Chain A
Amino acid sequence: MSYQWDFSGVWSRWDILLVGLVNTVKIAAISIVLGVIVGLALAFLKLSTKRHLSLPATAFIEFYRNTPPIIHFFWFYYALPVVVDISLDPFVAAVLALSTQSGAFYAEVFRGGIVSIEQGQWEGARALGMSHVQMMRRIILPQALTRMFAPFVERSFELIKTTALASTLAYADILYQAMLVNSETFRPLEVYTTIALMYVTLLVTASALSRVAEARLTAYR
């Protein structure tokens, strides 16, 4: 093949791509934090012995786990305004889509971590006179955290990659900015190769950070 690689058009527009990178990191970070909150709430609801709490949580989780992620983006952006009289800007709609869908997956990660703690730990804590909240906070969650960590990181990486769907709502993430650059340079190979490498760099960095965190969490083993 005699293709002549030419990155000059991409290099000269690096500031456009940088904006995209910053926006991708921003939306991913916010969605992870909100997703954790949604996930914790869903996990505790689903763990409840009261069916009017556990059933809706289960339904929510199953709905999100069994629909394509892009539907949630379209739903919050195009469909929700039909129901309620507000239109969300692309950023808010994308954050809602990302944090609810990741929340559904995190919920299963958190619940799995909690139920994996041996019966004896609950009993040891309870026998000391701990309340349910004290037991969760001091005994169960700290141990569950170490077991949740790997699947949590895996889900978070999924989320980071899924942020690219926000570009379909015209949110200025890496992919959207890349499409801008592409429309100016007509160099799709260079443009999309560049942003693929940006994603790789982002995820490899996140992965390194997560390994440091994991080593600290599991120090007692």
Chain B
Amino acid sequence: MTDAILRVTGLHKSFGDHHVLKGIDFSVAAAERVAIIGGSGSGKSTFLRCLNFMELPSLGTVALDGREIGRPAGGDGARYYPEAELCAVRERVGMVFQQFNLFPHMTVLDNVMEGLVTVKGMKRAAARERAAAELEKVGLGAKFDAYPGRLSGGQQQRVAIARALAMEPEILLFDEPTSSLDPELVGEVLRVIRQLADEGRTMLLVTHELGFAYHFATKVIFLADGVFHEVGTPDEVLKQPRQERTRAFLARYTEFGF
């Protein structure tokens, strides 16, 4: 594929001698929506975090628009990543966390404005306008002056999504965005994510909500043992998995189905 925005080649990641990702090749094109599923501890977060360099790859390259990030350092495939270059990547590849990670000392509006003012150097008035628009979009137009600690988990996660969106990233990464929410709050967050899908945004989503993944994704990846065990359309991976391992994983989710 030549129209990949982001391309990963030969990605390995180890923590000490714990080899978590074992050679992953992957690319995302504009408007693709990728759902990543897999067991707990299989490296889903690590993979996602290598894409915006919250974790530095141990080996392999990540390229944005065909340009490889960082530069070779030493002869053994290791790379050096200058801070400024990583900051620039993170502006283009936004991230939403399981634990929201909102800034508790700032109001909701200031949380969303923060990146615009501090990172993009936008004037406060313009930043306020953009932040307000993003908050309206996620249904939080009435909460501008609230502090995050006063909001429900679902509301906090929607603020976090607005905060990421305000930066106008080309790719959005979601790491289990509903896993720490009470069941009745999951829907409001998933509806926002579906709305983003309808806008044609490029997104990667790590999730255990297989039903949502099925409707949301253009591509589903089953990650196991540090490699992409099975990759395909939602129908292929979630309805007719070819790998025994994938079937066993899915069976655990449907065990108590009705």
Partners in one complex: yes
Count A-B contacts at CB 8 Å. Answer: 69
What A residues does B99 contact at CB under 8 A?
120
For the complex, give the distance between the alpha carbons of A12 and B129 in Å: 67
| Segment of A29-37, A84-92, A97-105, A128-136 in the binding face | A128-136
Which residue of B has the minimal Cβ distance to A128? B115
A142 lies within 8 A of chain B by Cβ? yes
For the complex, give the distance between the alpha carbons of A120 and B157 in Å: 14
Question: Size of chain A's interface in residues, with CB distance under 8 A?
Answer: 20
Contact call A127/B84, Cβ cutoff below 8 A? no
A139 lies within 8 A of chain B by Cβ? yes
For the complex, give the distance between the alpha carbons of A220 and B91 in Å: 28
Contact call A124/B103, Cβ cutoff below 8 A? yes
A-contacting residues, B138-173, CB 8 Å: 147, 149, 160, 163-164, 167
Which residue of B has the minimal Cβ distance to A146? B105
Cβ contact of A129, chosen from B91, B100, B147, cutoff 8 A: B91
How many whole Å from B136's CB to the nearest CB in chain A?
Answer: 20
Contact call B114/A128, Cβ cutoff below 8 A? yes
How many whole Å from A117's CB to the nearest CB in chain B?
Answer: 10
Contact call A131/B104, Cβ cutoff below 8 A? no
Measuring CB to CB, which residues of chain B are less than 8 angstroms from any residue of chain A? 52, 54, 83-84, 87-91, 94-95, 97, 99-106, 114-115, 118-119, 147, 149, 160, 163-164, 167
12 A–B contacts from the bound complex (CB under 8 Å):
A120-B101, A124-B97, A125-B103, A127-B95, A129-B89, A129-B167, A130-B118, A130-B119, A139-B103, A220-B104, A220-B147, A221-B104
Given contacts A123-B54, A124-B103, A128-B91, 4 further A-B contacts (CB under 8 A): A128-B119, A129-B87, A129-B88, A129-B90
